[in-house]
Amino acid sequence: MTWIMRLPISLLLVFGVSIWVVSVNLLSSDVEPFQSQRIENSGKVKHVGPPEVAPLPSWAYELPDFNAFAAGDERKQAFFNFLTPIIHHINSQILLDRYQLMGLVETLKQKKIMSSKQQRQLAKLIKKYRVEEEDLNKQISRLLLRVDVVPPSLALAQAANESAWGTSRFATEANNLFGQWCYRKGCGLVPAQRDEEAVHEVRSFESPVDSVTSYIRNLNTNVAYVFLRQLRRSLRMSEDGISGLNIVQGLEPYSSRGQDYVDELSAMIRYNDLQQYDEY
């Protein structure tokens, strides 16, 4: 069973703080000194235009009846065809956020003062990615780890696993494709097998798009997935692309099944050749 932790949001900004190096234990936190961060593969910000946001099909807001497709390859392909454009759309928005972030990084590297527009961009990123640090150095370091894509292969495998290929009760009645929980009465559906003392519900979403958005935000901000973000950062800084198989180990906390859950996702990615959907 999956689980979610909701973290508080802070908008505290300190724009006058100098950039300096702080020793941080990366095994317990996803913050490291800003000055020690390599900037993209080449060590420099790439001077290219902003990435385009991938279009979102109008039909993405209504979950198809996947039971109408024959179980097996037909249903699987219908499932992948439906979810892949949604994942690409959300990832493309994140890449646009990252483009803005790298512009801020370049400004700070050159020891320049951020413009009013850049300060507004930073404030929005801090809110969106739930950054709590007050120190500017730590804010940037945290954002460099959080503002990045979730490989489609990983999202597709988890959605298929958690929603029984879009046919589960939570998928069909609550648009919940990733088994996400909530803790306010009436916020979702009560699991049939919930323990008597438990209070969680399986969260309801207005649309599948909202479910995917929440899932990706969870992986990018939840303290439980620090290791996943560190793995992704290492790939971003190396010559290797970001792929689901290369960061799936960071999902061990997602399920009470632990390593068995990770192994199952890895097998699903390989068996269904989901690496073909990764473009990062």
- Structural domain contains residue 37: yes
Instruction: Return the H-helix or E-strand segment holding 259.
Output: helix 259-271
| Helices 152-163 and 208-221: angle between axes, nearest 10 degrees | 120
> What is the per-residue pLDDT across 231-241, written as a single tens digit (0 to 9) for each?
999 999 987 78
User: What angle is formed at CA 148 by the lines to CA 143 and CA 153, rounded to 5 degrees?
Assistant: 155
- Structural domain contains residue 272: yes
Q: Please provide the DSSP assignment of 199-228 as one string.
A: --EEEP-SSHHHHHHHHHHHHHH-GGGHHH
7/127 Cα distance (integer angstroms): 12
- Structural domain contains residue 264: yes
268/112 Cα distance (integer angstroms): 48
In degrees and rounded to multiples of 5, residue 217 shows phi and psi of: -65, -40
- Structural domain contains residue 212: yes
- Structural domain contains residue 189: no
- Structural domain contains residue 158: yes
- Structural domain contains residue 114: yes
- Structural domain contains residue 188: no
Burial class (CB in 10 A: 0-12, 13-18, 19+), 29: middle
98/236 Cα distance (integer angstroms): 12
Amino acid 20: pLDDT = 30
In degrees and rounded to multiples of 5, residue 275 shows phi and psi of: -60, -25
> What is the per-residue pLDDT across 178-215, written as a single tens digit (0 to 9) for each?
999 888 888 878 877 777 777 788 899 999 999 999 99
pLDDT band at 125 (very low <50, low <70, confident <90, very high): very high
Burial class (CB in 10 A: 0-12, 13-18, 19+), 243: buried
Amino acid 202: pLDDT = 85
pLDDT band at 90 (very low <50, low <70, confident <90, very high): very high
End-to-end Cα separation, the chain, in angstroms: 29
In the block, residue with structure tokens 């303290």: 223
Amino acid 232: pLDDT = 97
Domain encompassing residue 260: 1-17+30-169+208-280
Residue 195 neighbours by CB distance under 10 Å: 8
Q: How many domains does the chain have?
A: 1
